[in-house]
């Protein structure tokens, strides 16, 4: 066990998987000498050469589509889309090609593609460099979605993503790149998809949060605990597949659920989780399921406005107290 | 061995572009070899092409199978026997057959929404293609893909696509993977004139050029993107000119001449295999049928269609084979009977096949 940053953990995952499997290669904008906009791929060019660390022109649909073709023909590409907002450019590639081809071509060839991208706000990058868009892709059959919040999850889940035979959308978070935590080496670091992580245990309410919101919720849970409210806090870690069983089990115990989401409220991930909980455990609920999400507005650039938009630990504490008192 | 003489038009980016119409010029008794000349502002080249007559007969046979297959499919759709939609390649058979004849086993082929002909030319089983159109389990995609999504990875045929230009990036990737794995495979990418105006076309040609990937782009310019004439959709006369913007050669060939297409693709494939990069081959042809079922063809005249029918690639090839005595009328009848039998066997197979089990609906979304 070593304590490293989320960025270093991601880089270790790439290094280890590229060393293990010669068919793994990375491609994206400014990922070679520059090392990627957030430094994740720094050093890979020296280690693996320009054949396997491909700097691309600014052609997201073109190179993502190329990665799909490469994935269908025996390699394991890992694409970097610099900001998740740019995923709009590659939606056709992901939705109409990567996600469907295995099924619609009669299961002839897997599409082992990973698309890594940096999502979320918190840095005042403005409306097209700060969005949280995982909900879009939860609606698409055929794509797995990973939303790691710790270095261990980042490393373990990226390694698993690269070994997975399906398209995986791997959503990193700008506010987490510097987060530190312990990681393991090699295969010991691997983590399965579809396993929620229980962060804190408690009886008063169930809280569900992922990515940056998971870190904020963890801080909130500590504060709540100090105030006498104990929280069962879960990070689903992957949204597709979504591990509902422990969440349902928890709500049976607590009778209250708060889902915290950085993305916009309407038709968000929390709506899906709330609905699934309601379908399964409604008779155990002591209060309506509560969603804490961003309002339905574009992410503004001003720090004051952005702060007002995205839920933080204080907003989570407040929502939790209201829910427990209801 | 016999000879055909084909007009290949090479683009000359410095020449004045004008409204030159493409045409095939054949002069069986000509003794001239390759000869360059200027025709209405462009550099042209006669090439006297030597080819085995058997090869031409094989091309003719495959073109007949494609033609009869597509006619049968149009029939089945209009009778409502087959549901959904389909895009017949009637009139474009020479491109599919000529291009695929230039490939080696193992080479990759990406196709389009109008892809039955490509698949048949690449060696796809007519029975399984027809069964896919019928939505049957024995179809190439078990009935899930339909007309636009059929592949046979064992043939290197990576499939058609329901998004115009959707397969163009896939070809980049297949070529990239061939390069990374140091194989000698190339990727042949079929697309239509419509797809040449998609953003991914331009992005892909640039990526392939900067990475020097082994891709042969075969543009089937059938003169219409659904209803839009190429003249309204392009400010250049030749789509092949666009290759110059990406730094590799573009050539225009008569897409109704399978040998012209084949030789152009052979040259391009050789370049690709030598690591010299991509070529864009624009095959000028004509979609004799409508875009899809229900197309009333209001956007073009019957006179124009009649002129195009006079240049029907199958008729032309047959006339050429008859003129030099290679193909007798009897042979022609028997080749046609054989091709019709292939198609009717395919229909019988499709009709007799089972539908997929509805309980398998959710199987295979993930690998």
pLDDT tens readout for residues A289-323: 999 999 999 999 999 999 999 999 999 999 999 99
pLDDT recorded at residue B49: 53
Bridging pattern class, strands B35-39 and B2-10: unpaired
Q: Which domain holds residue A136?
A: 2-189
Mean pLDDT of chain A, nearest integer: 98
Q: Which domains does chain B have, with CATH numbers?
A: 52-353 (3.40.50.970)
Interface of B with A in 103-162 (CB under 8 A): 108, 110, 139-142, 144-145, 149-153, 158-159, 161-162
- Nearest to residue A131, comparing CAs of A300, A314, A311, A270? A300
Of B110, B206, B365, the CB nearest to A57: B206
Tell me if chain B has a CB within 8 Å of the CB of A160.
Answer: no
pLDDT recorded at residue B43: 52
Contact B343, B72 (CB under 8 A): yes
User: CA–CA separation, A10 vs A13, rounded Å?
Assistant: 5
Q: Assess whether A157 and A65 both reside in one domain.
A: yes
Q: Assess whether A128 and A257 both reside in one domain.
A: no
Q: Does A144 score more than 70 pLDDT? A: yes
pLDDT tens readout for residues A98-134: 999 999 999 999 999 999 999 999 999 999 999 999 9
Domain boundary among A143, A169, A189: A189
pLDDT recorded at residue B55: 87
Interface of B with A in 58-97 (CB under 8 A): none
Q: Is the ipTM of this complex over 0.90?
A: yes
Alpha carbon A4 to its chain centroid, in Å, reads: 19
Contact B147, B84 (CB under 8 A): yes
Look at chain A and report how many structural domains it folds into. Answer: 2
Q: Assess whether A243 and A292 both reside in one domain.
A: yes
Contact B340, B68 (CB under 8 A): yes
Along chain B (367 residues), what's the average pLDDT of each consecutive run of 10 residues?
A: 44 31 33 47 51 86 98 94 92 98 97 98 98 98 97 97 97 97 96 98 98 98 96 96 97 96 96 97 96 89 95 95 90 97 98 98 97
Interface of A with B in 227-286 (CB under 8 A): none
Burial class (CB in 10 A: 0-12, 13-18, 19+), B32: exposed
Domain boundary among A157, A189, A221: A189
Contact B367, A165 (CB under 8 A): yes
Contact B39, B89 (CB under 8 A): no
pLDDT tens readout for residues A244-293: 999 999 999 999 999 999 999 999 999 999 999 999 999 999 999 999 99
Q: Assess whether A95 and A229 both reside in one domain.
A: no
Q: Assess whether A314 and A166 both reside in one domain.
A: no
Could you tell me the CATH number of the domain that includes residue A144? 3.40.50.970
What percentage of residues in chain A have a pLDDT greater than 90?
99
User: CA–CA separation, A239 vs A146, rounded Å?
Assistant: 6
Could you tell me the CATH number of the domain that includes residue A320? 3.40.50.920
When pLDDT is averaged across residues A152-158 and rounded to a whole number, the result is: 98
Q: Assess whether A158 and A204 both reside in one domain.
A: no
Q: What is the distance in angstroms between the CA of the first residue and the CA of the last residue of chain A?
A: 43
pLDDT recorded at residue B323: 87
Q: Assess whether A44 and A106 both reside in one domain.
A: yes
- Nearest to residue B62, comparing CAs of B22, B99, B11? B99
Strands (E) across A31-185 are located at 53-55, 76-81, 114-119, 144-146, 168-173, 180-183
Q: Assess whether A176 and A227 both reside in one domain.
A: no
Of A68, A144, A165, the CB nearest to B169: A68
Q: Assess whether A37 and A152 both reside in one domain.
A: yes
Q: What is the largest CA-CA distance in chain B?
A: 66
Q: Does A25 score more than 90 pLDDT? A: yes
More confident residue, A29 or B16: A29
User: CA–CA separation, B214 vs A45, rounded Å?
Assistant: 23
Q: Assess whether A269 and A252 both reside in one domain.
A: yes
- Residue B251 DSSP one-character state: E
Q: Assess whether A17 and A128 both reside in one domain.
A: yes
Q: Assess whether A220 and A129 both reside in one domain.
A: no
- H helices of chain B, where? 53-78, 93-101, 116-121, 126-133, 168-180, 199-210, 230-233, 258-273, 302-310, 313-323, 329-352
pLDDT recorded at residue B20: 30
- Nearest Cα of chain A lies from the Cα of B174 at a distance, in angstroms, of 5
Domain boundary among A152, A172, A189: A189
Burial A163-186 (b: 16+ CB within 10 A, else e): bbebbbbbbbbbbbbebebebeee
The reply to whether residue A110 touches residue B367, judged by beta carbons under 8 angstroms, is: yes
Q: What is the distance in angstroms between the CA of the first residue and the CA of the last residue of chain B?
A: 50
């Amino acid at each position: 066990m070593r304590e490293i940053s989320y960025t270093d953990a991601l880089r270790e995952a790439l290094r280890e998987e590229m060393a293990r499997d010669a068919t793994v290669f990375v491609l994206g904008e400014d990922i070679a000498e520059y090392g990627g906009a957030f430094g994740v791929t720094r050093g890979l060019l020296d280690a693996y050469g320009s054949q396997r660390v491909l700097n691309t022109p600014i052609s997201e649909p073109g190179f993502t589509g190329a990665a799909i073709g490469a994935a269908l023909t025996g390699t394991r590409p890992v694409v970097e889309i610099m900001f998740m907002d740019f995923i709009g450019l590659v939606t056709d590639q992901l939705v109409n090609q990567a996600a469907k081809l295995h099924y619609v071509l009669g299961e002839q060839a897997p599409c082992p593609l990973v698309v890594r991208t940096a999502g979320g706000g918190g840095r005042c990058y403005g409306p097209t460099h700060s969005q949280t868009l995982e909900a879009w892709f939860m609606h698409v059959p055929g794509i797995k979605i990973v939303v790691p919040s710790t270095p261990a999850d980042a490393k373990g889940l990226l390694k698993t993503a690269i070994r997975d035979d399906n398209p995986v959308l791997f959503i990193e978070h700008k506010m987490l790149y510097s987060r530190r935590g312990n990681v393991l080496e090699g295969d010991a670091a691997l983590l399965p998809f579809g396993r929620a992580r229980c962060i804190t245990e408690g009886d008063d309410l169930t809280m569900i949060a992922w990515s940056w919101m998971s870190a904020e919720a963890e801080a909130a849970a500590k504060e709540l605990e100090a105030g006498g409210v104990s929280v069962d806090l879960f990070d689903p870690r992957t949204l597709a597949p979504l591990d509902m069983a422990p969440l349902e089990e928890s709500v049976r115990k607590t009778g209250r659920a708060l889902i915290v989401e950085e993305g916009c409220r309407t038709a968000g991930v929390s709506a899906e989780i709330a609905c699934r909980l309601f379908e399964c455990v409604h008779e155990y609920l002591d209060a309506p399921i509560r969603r804490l999400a961003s309002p339905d507005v574009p992410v503004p650039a001003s720090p004051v406005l952005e702060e007002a938009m995205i839920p933080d630990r204080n907003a989570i504490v407040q929502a939790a107290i209201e829910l427990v008192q209801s | 061995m016999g000879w055909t003489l084909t007009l290949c038009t090479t683009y000359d980016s410095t020449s004045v572009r004008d409204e030159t119409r493409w045409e095939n010029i054949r002069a069986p008794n000509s003794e001239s070899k390759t000869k360059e000349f200027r025709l209405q502002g462009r550099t042209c080249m006669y090439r006297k092409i030597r080819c085995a007559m058997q090869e031409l007969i094989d091309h003719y046979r495959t073109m007949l199978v494609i033609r009869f297959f597509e006619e049968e499919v149009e029939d089945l759709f209009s009778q409502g026997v087959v549901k959904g939609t389909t895009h017949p390649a009637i009139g474009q058979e020479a491109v599919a057959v000529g291009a695929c004849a230039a490939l080696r086993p193992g080479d990759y082929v990406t196709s389009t929404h109008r892809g039955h002909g490509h698949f048949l030319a690449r060696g796809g089983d007519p029975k399984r293609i027809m069964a896919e159109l019928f939505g049957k389990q024995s179809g190439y995609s078990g009935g899930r893909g339909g007309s636009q999504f059929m592949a046979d990875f064992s043939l290197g045929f990576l499939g058609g696509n329901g998004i115009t230009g959707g397969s163009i990036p896939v070809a980049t990737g297949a070529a990239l993977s061939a390069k990374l794995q140091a194989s000698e495979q190339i990727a042949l990418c079929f697309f239509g004139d419509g797809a040449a105006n998609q953003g991914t076309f331009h992005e892909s040609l640039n990526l392939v050029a900067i990475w020097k990937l082994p891709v042969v782009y075969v543009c089937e310019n059938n003169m219409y993107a659904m209803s839009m004439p190429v003249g309204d959709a392009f400010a250049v006369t030749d789509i092949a000119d666009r290759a110059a913007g990406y730094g590799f050669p573009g050539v225009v060939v008569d897409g109704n001449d399978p040998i012209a297409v084949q030789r152009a693709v052979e040259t391009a494939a050789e370049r690709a295999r030598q690591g010299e990069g991509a070529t864009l081959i624009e095959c000028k042809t004509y979609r004799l049928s409508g875009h899809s079922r229900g197309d009333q063809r209001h956007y073009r005249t019957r006179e124009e269609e009649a002129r195009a029918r006079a240049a029907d690639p199958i008729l032309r090839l047959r006339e050429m084979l008859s003129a030099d005595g290679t193909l007798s009328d009897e042979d022609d009848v028997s080749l046609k009977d054989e091709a019709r039998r292939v198609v009717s066997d395919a229909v019988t197979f499709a009709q007799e096949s089972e539908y997929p089990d509805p309980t398998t609906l959710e199987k295979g979304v993930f690998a």
